[in-house]
A = this chain, B = another copy of it.
Amino acid sequence: MPSIDPIQRLILAFSKLPSVGEKTASRFTFYLLNRSPEIAEEIADALSALHSAVKFCSECAHLSAQDPCRFCNSEKRDSLTICVVEDVSALMAIEKTGEYRGLYHVLHGVISPFEGIGPDDLKIAALIRRLQKLSSKQALSEVEVIIATNPSVDGEATSLYLSELLKPLGVNISRIASGIPMGSHLQYADQLSLAQALVSRRKL
**Interface residues, chain A, CB within 8 Å of chain B?**
3-7, 9-10, 12-14, 16-20, 26-34, 37, 39-54, 63-66, 70, 87-89, 92
A42 proximity list for chain B (CB < 8 A): 13, 16
Chain B residues within an 8 Å CB radius of A87: 30, 34
Most buried by B among A40, A45, A63: A40
A4 surroundings in chain B (CB, below 8 A): 65
The CA-CA distance from A89 to B4 in the complex, in Å, is 17
Q: Please judge, given known A-B contacts A5-B64, A47-B32, A50-B7, whether A92 and B26 are in contact too, CB under 8 Å.
A: yes
Q: How far is the CA of A53 from the CA of B7 in the complex (A)?
A: 9
Apart from A18-B27, A43-B44, what are 13 other A-B pairs with CB-CB below 8 Å?
A: A3-B66, A5-B70, A7-B63, A12-B46, A13-B45, A17-B28, A17-B43, A26-B92, A27-B89, A33-B50, A37-B50, A37-B51, A37-B52
A21 CB to closest chain B CB, in angstroms? 13
**How many monomers of this protein are in the complex?**
2
What distance in Å separates the Cβ of A198 from its nearest Cβ neighbour in chain B? Answer: 30
A66 vs B26: C-alpha distance in the bound complex, in angstroms?
19
CB within 8 Å for A6 and B40 given contacts A30-B89, A89-B26: no
